[in-house]
Amino acid sequence: MMQRATKTSRNRGGSGSEKEVALESYNVTAKYYDAAYATKQDLVDLPFYLDLAKASGGPVLEIACGTGRVLLPIARENIDIDGVDNSLPMLRVLKSHIDNEPAEIRRRITLHEGDMRDFRLREKFPLVIIPFRPLQHMYTLQDQLRALATAAFHLQKNGILAFDLFYPKMELISAGVGQEIVDLEWQANSNSVVRRYFRKDSVDKINQVFSFTFIFRTYKGDKLVHQESEPFKLSYYSYPQLKALFRLARLEPVAEYGSFAKTPLDNTAEQMIFLLKKS
């Protein structure tokens, strides 16, 4: 098999200030990301995506690969994987992780700087994955379709696109605007704790987008010693809207689930998980 170098290519997309903002997205969050989500007990998607990767045999393309929470375990299963992300801070963290991997794992990973709306690689893949809801950072119909078109472009014949979104609980989306809640906490070192606070700032019901801020506060005992924050937006989707988007993107469902345990996508669902192929 041809050896794959751990390299980074650039295919960024966007223009002007929009591009620069995108490339520096997660500038604060990237520093805390791995420690924060290591404590998240309900983050159970990894076995699902690992099983898909093993079944595909590789290579795999992960869109919005972040710090490698899913990418690295796939590579450790001796599966070639390409990862693309538009956040330079997240990619810098991922590269630091890759540097600590054995050579045989590093050879299986290729990284790209790119925007999910318009990057294009020459290679086609039997499996394209978009784990942990990056499509919710697409706020307009045009961008949503462009992101799906990018994923479809990279599919081999009979290839599978897999991604997940949160199941929209409308009563919760509009609730608690302006309130701060502690949603994650972890030990930073022997004498300090980091708490991540979530504050919902606004809800745009027409465009189905809500804005929020993550606030990272570091404490030594009861004393606040450091604070950083970063604003975000997330879109949310209805099921009929998604089915229309799939049709417009010339994709059709192979399977759909309401959890990573493959329970039905019904009124009890916590997630909306889709496996798609080109129509």
Predicted local distance difference test score (pLDDT) of residue 8 = 54
The answer to whether the beta carbons of residues 84 and 116 sit under 8 Å apart is yes
What are the extents of the domains in the chain?
Answer: 8-168+237-278, 170-235
Token digits for 190?
């022997």
CATH of segment(s) 8-168+237-278: 3.40.50.150
**Per-residue pLDDT at 14:** 38
Q: Please report the pLDDT score of residue 2 as a whole number.
A: 33
pLDDT grade for 3, boundaries at 50, 70 and 90: very low
Asked if residues 85 and 62 have their Cβ atoms less than 8 Å apart, the reply is no
What single string gives the DSSP state of each residue in 82-109? Answer: EEEES-HHHHHHHHHHHHTS-HHHHTTE
pLDDT digits (tens, 9 = 90+) for 87-127: 999 999 999 999 999 999 999 999 999 999 999 999 999 99
Structure tokens at 265: 């996508």
Q: How high is the pLDDT of residue 20?
A: 40
pLDDT of residue 15: 36
241, two tokens? 């809207």
Find the mean pLDDT for residues 193-206: 98
User: Whole-angstrom Cα distance, residue 139 to residue 259?
Assistant: 24
